[in-house]
């Protein structure tokens, strides 16, 4: 069963066509990687899925429902969470406070002026569970602005997880990381996929990570769908070699 279906989506910015007639189906429980050279339209594509802006043409379905024109916060309510290529967190708040906001919104407390002790305890429990899941429980009371870059990326993933997503969109989770941090994130993504029964779509530049993690790979080039297949098929694909792998080698 597909959880995400994208039908012939196009996004224009003036005369620039950032995404051109791309279709894609992601199955429930899949771990899909989207790759492509710089400027291939990967992040624009993510922004279309998550509702940052609507497509110029085409339609997007999430869990069988047409969400093409749905605002971003309502997509979150349906179970879609994302991270950003450039870390988007609340720098002046602690790790705990960063994660708590998503937990409270997801629990339906976002508009409440008061939640009492039961609500507070429930929220605290869920925040602690989320921090444990990503291995940040020891840093709960630190300001995120004081954390290392790698930990900040993990906080952002924890914030996305606080929304209890059915679909998790990760935009270059290992961007700007060293080898060890990259390895940790890779392990984390694998664990989330396995243990949380969460469908994951990730944009990634690091080919080791992509071929290590992904069930299927989608290759974009100049806004168009170039190829799609399992890692072995993609590695053997001549068009991909020419457009992408060849360039980086």
Give the interface with another protein as residue ranges (CB under 8 A): 50, 71-73, 76-77, 81-82, 84, 88-94, 96-97, 100-102, 104-106, 109-115, 123, 140-143, 159, 162-163
Least distance to another protein from the beta carbon of 144, Å? 10
Q: Which helix (H) or strand (E) holds 12?
A: strand 2-13
Least distance to another protein from the beta carbon of 111, Å? 6
Task: Please give the Cα distance from 131 to 135 (Å, whole number).
Answer: 6
Quick check: helix, strand or coil at residue 91?
coil
**Complex with another protein: residue 161 or 240, whichever CB lies closer:** 161
Task: Please give the Cα distance from 102 to 98 (Å, whole number).
Answer: 8
**Complex with another protein: residue 57 or 78, whichever CB lies closer:** 78
Least distance to another protein from the beta carbon of 239, Å? 34
Q: Are 60 and 67 in contact (CB under 8 A)?
A: yes
Q: What number of helices (H) and strands (E) belong to the chain?
A: 10, 10
Task: Please give the Cα distance from 58 to 61 (Å, whole number).
Answer: 10
- Phi and psi of 80, rounded to 5°? -115, 125
Q: Which helix (H) or strand (E) holds 34?
A: strand 31-35
Least distance to another protein from the beta carbon of 15, Å? 26
Least distance to another protein from the beta carbon of 141, Å? 5
**Complex with another protein: residue 102 or 223, whichever CB lies closer:** 102
Least distance to another protein from the beta carbon of 52, Å? 8
Query: Which residues, listed in sequence order, are joined to residue 25 by a DSSP beta bridge?
Result: 5
Pairing of strands 2-13, 199-203: unpaired
**Complex with another protein: residue 50 or 199, whichever CB lies closer:** 50
**Complex with another protein: residue 148 or 242, whichever CB lies closer:** 148
**Complex with another protein: residue 74 or 197, whichever CB lies closer:** 74
């Amino acid at each position: 069963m597909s959880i995400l279906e994208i039908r012939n989506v196009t996004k224009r910015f003036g005369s620039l066509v950032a995404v051109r007639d791309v279709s894609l189906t992601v199955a429930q429980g899949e771990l899909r990687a989207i790759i492509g050279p710089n400027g291939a339209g990967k992040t624009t594509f993510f922004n279309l899925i998550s509702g940052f802006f609507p497509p110029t043409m085409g339609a997007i379905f999430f869990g069988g429902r047409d969400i093409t024109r749905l605002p971003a916060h309502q997509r979150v309510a349906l179970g879609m969470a994302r991270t950003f290529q450039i870390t988007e967190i609340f720098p002046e708040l602690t790790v705990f406070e960063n994660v708590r906001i998503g937990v409270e919104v997801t629990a339906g407390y976002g508009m409440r002026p008061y939640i009492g002790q039961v609500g507070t305890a429930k929220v605290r429990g869920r925040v602690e569970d989320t921090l444990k899941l990503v291995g940040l429980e020891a840093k709960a009371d630190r300001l995120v602005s004081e954390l290392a870059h790698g930990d900040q990326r993990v906080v952002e993933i924890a914030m996305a997880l606080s929304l209890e997503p059915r679909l998790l969109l990760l935009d270059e989770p290992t961007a700007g990381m060293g080898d060890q941090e990259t390895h940790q994130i890779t392990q984390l993504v694998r664990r989330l996929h396995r243990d949380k029964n969460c469908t994951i779509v990730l944009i990634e530049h690091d080919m080791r990570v992509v071929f290590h993690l992904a069930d299927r790979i989608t290759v974009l080039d100049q806004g168009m769908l170039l190829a799609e297949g399992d890692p072995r098929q993609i590695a053997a694909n001549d068009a991909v070699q020419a457009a992408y792998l060849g360039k980086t080698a």
